[in-house]
Chains A and B, each alone.
Chain A
């Protein structure tokens, strides 16, 4: 089994003493798309911030065989791209093109090489025409694409997305699914949007109160009404979750 990401016994408490993660174990195979489900305040975002060492708890995080420590933070950050929930937090430069260039420039790229990297990243999300635009005036969908491109420009092995569908209209959501399906990457998608998870991700895990409480194929997880209810999750009105039991998602 070729693991893209492995987390063992990850614990983290905030300085005020609140425990956010209480021993998370996680193993993600290369090339899979995994949904991270769970109620508000379950520790999902905190978990994401540990995957490239923005937050440091106790425990072990291994990315593509490299165990995160103080000396390889930069390499880990290159390997794990994070797309934050509010695209405005991620798009802080004057134009989208400069935002996409920010990461690779920090890696030391300059000139034509840098331009090629920016071009390629924007191309992957079909947003080449946004390069000169200031982020303030983009639509929600455009902001999301641009934010994904900023992470892709680092040429990561794993892409972590925090609530990528929030604030998108139905069409934007559809385009996002297509964009993400087209990426040849390991994906970790934090979301409340269960149909989105079902459509995109082969596997799902449920995180609640700082630990992983369930793990399995997405269809099976979503078919388990009792499990969902126990963790404040629910299929939207009109969806029959239990009918998913015998449906299998593509792998």
Chain B
């Protein structure tokens, strides 16, 4: 059973970034990540500036460097892939520590590692400074349909319960000596997934009843709406403004 997933990344702290309205943070993070993604890989100095910006962000937001590093594990498989590229790639070969590798492959490797790490770090700071319901409310304010964010809200609310329940089913199976090693022994697991689906569905019906009992008529009340001030938009715009400026200069320079 995987774990990491069921726990949101939120770090309970009070920082200027925590207090920004969620929609400006989401918009800022996405714009910044895109400008990083567009930045030409040859402009190493640009990535150095991005890294400094991220470090400042981590500092101001108080999410902590240790937290950032442990959460970056998610991108490791891709970084592993990136490290292999220089060895398999074609093109002009150069010697690094006595090993012949592809120059172009080295660049490709650097490109994926740099962009994936900066992108993931930005996401981690965003998720680390914004509570999940606020993230959803922020998406809402950015014109993501309510239908979409409402469903996401219910998903997050009930995910923990379902994961716990699956854990209990697994414990019950293990306690009766079930230790499958091959795919054809997986039937009890699949059957429990089926049972889990039925239970989830029935819970959905009961939750709906509980909502209707309190006057629900198809529209979720918007209880977390917060309209940002111009000042807050400007604060949040600092990061993407930096990103876009650096990216443009890098594009022109290379």
Contacts and interface: CB of A to CB of B under 8 A. Distances in A.
Interface of A: 49, 52, 54, 74, 77-78, 80-82, 84, 86, 88-90, 92-95, 98, 101-103, 105-107, 135-136, 150-151, 154
B215 A98 contact: no
A92 B133 CA distance: 12
A77 B214 contact: yes
B214 A102 contact: yes
A84 to B, nearest CB: 5
A246 to B, nearest CB: 40
Give the secondary structure class of A's interface.
Answer: helix
Interface of B: 131-133, 153-154, 156-158, 160-161, 203, 206-207, 209-217, 221, 223-224
A136 B160 contact: yes
Contact of A94 (B133, B206, B210, B221): B133
A11 B133 CA distance: 42
Given A98-B223, A106-B217, A136-B161, A77 B212 contact: yes
Given A89-B206, A89-B207, A94-B132, A103 B157 contact: no
Nearest to A51: B213
Contact of B221 (A80, A89, A106, A150): A106
Contact of B216 (A89, A90, A95, A106): A106
B221 A101 contact: yes
Nearest to B136: A94
Contacts of A135: 157
Contacts of A101: 221, 223
A151 B223 contact: no
A170 to B, nearest CB: 24
B139 to A, nearest CB: 14
Given A92-B154, A106-B221, A49 B214 contact: no
B210 A90 contact: yes
Nearest to A52: B213
Contacts of B206: 84, 86, 89
Nearest to A77: B215
